[in-house]
Amino acid sequence: MSEALMLKYRPKNFDEVVGQTIVTEILKNSLEEGKYAPSYLFYGTRGTGKTSVARIIAKCLNCETGITGSPCNSCSSCVSISNGSNPDIYEIDGASNRGIGDVRAIQEMVRYLPSSRFKVFIIDEAHMLTREAFNAFLKTLEEPPENVVFILATTDYQALPTTVVSRCQKFLFKPIDANTIRTQMAFIGQAEKIDLNNDTVTIISKYANGSMRDALTILEQIKYLKRIPTPSDMVQLLGIVPKKKIASLINSIGEKNVATIVASMNTMSEEGEDFKRVTGDLIKQLRNILVFKMSDNPKQALGIFSDAYMEKLGELGDKFKPLELLKLINKINAVYAGMQYGMDMRVALEMSIFDYIGGLVGN
């Protein structure tokens, strides 16, 4: 079986990391000088390279050539870290090892000397640790033994205690921009002989939402389609809600027509649309309409869109006042933030729309 794209194209050194230039430059240069922090905190959205960079640091610290910013990736230490078999590198899931007992186990492991140069503890989703676990961890995090480095990774920076944050060297991993993802997907597609066209690559880069991991997952699926995907294929694969359906729903909301709102919802339900995706796309389109209405140069403000799309925004915008759009976006966004699979997301979306309409008509 061929190696998964996600593993095959995982960066092996700082120069291969995509979309995090400032982070990798600082880390590479400091390690070249033999300087490292006892505790790092990597935070940012999913799939942006936090764990990959943590592994690269582990290789930099333990490479048989010495502490370096450019690991050789061929010595036994580098190879074992790459394949996950190095006994001194601990990758810990904070979501399933979150209690004070788990922290005590880490503290026990810290006491023993590494077989190589450093023990490196990579704690993913670190915000999931309990407050009691963090309290027990503070002293070890601030002053670990000289041969121990902690790397905490999280998608929820705000959930971390300030006492923990203040003890770490912090690095923000920003969402990777669509053009960077697009370039990388085109490169990998060509290297792997995957049937792609420009439209497909553009769709992947858009729906990855700043995550290189998500983009690679989509590309992996297309690889086994073994033909250039059609627009219909991409709609089914990604759960894309056609713009016409969203526009029809917005038109009905603007006309305050409950019957056609329900009819639009019925159509989307019968055609198997994901109502969390519907809600998210609805918010984006309402935001575009609001920007269109409030901007002196909407095309520049919104970026590159077709003339037909801009004309449609204008038509839909005529049905709303800017303040109405703002209220509607806020109501739907509040519902979207609380949506979870298992709940009736269609009903939640409908109720937020009806609440908005009821406020306008005074009922």
Give me the CATH number covering residue 149: 3.40.50.300
**275 and 147: one domain?**
no
State which of 189, 215, 238 marks the end of a domain.
238
107-128 confidence digits (pLDDT tens): 888 888 888 899 999 999 989 8
Take residue 309 and report the two structure tokens written for it: 């799309």
Phi then psi for 259, rounded to 5 degrees? Answer: -60, -45
**164 and 18: one domain?**
yes
128-153 confidence digits (pLDDT tens): 888 888 888 888 888 888 899 999 99
Mean pLDDT of the residues in the chain:
90
**165 and 194: one domain?**
no
- Binned at pLDDT 50, 70 and 90, residue 233 comes out as confident
Please tell me the distance from the alpha carbon of residue 290 to that of residue 299, in angstroms, as a whole number.
13
Contacts of 121 (CB under 8 A, 6+ apart): 90, 92, 106, 109, 110, 148, 149, 150, 151
Find the CATH number of the domain harbouring 325: 1.20.272.10
- Binned at pLDDT 50, 70 and 90, residue 1 comes out as very low
Domain range enclosing 158: 5-173
Please tell me the distance from the alpha carbon of residue 235 to that of residue 229, in angstroms, as a whole number.
10
**282 and 199: one domain?**
no
How many domains is the chain partitioned into structurally? 3
Question: Which residue carries 């921009």 as its tokens?
Answer: 177
Whole-model pTM: value is 0.80
17-69 confidence digits (pLDDT tens): 999 999 999 999 999 999 999 999 999 999 999 999 999 999 999 999 999 99
**79 and 21: one domain?**
yes
187-216 confidence digits (pLDDT tens): 999 999 998 888 899 889 988 989 999 999
**102 and 120: one domain?**
yes
**49 and 165: one domain?**
yes
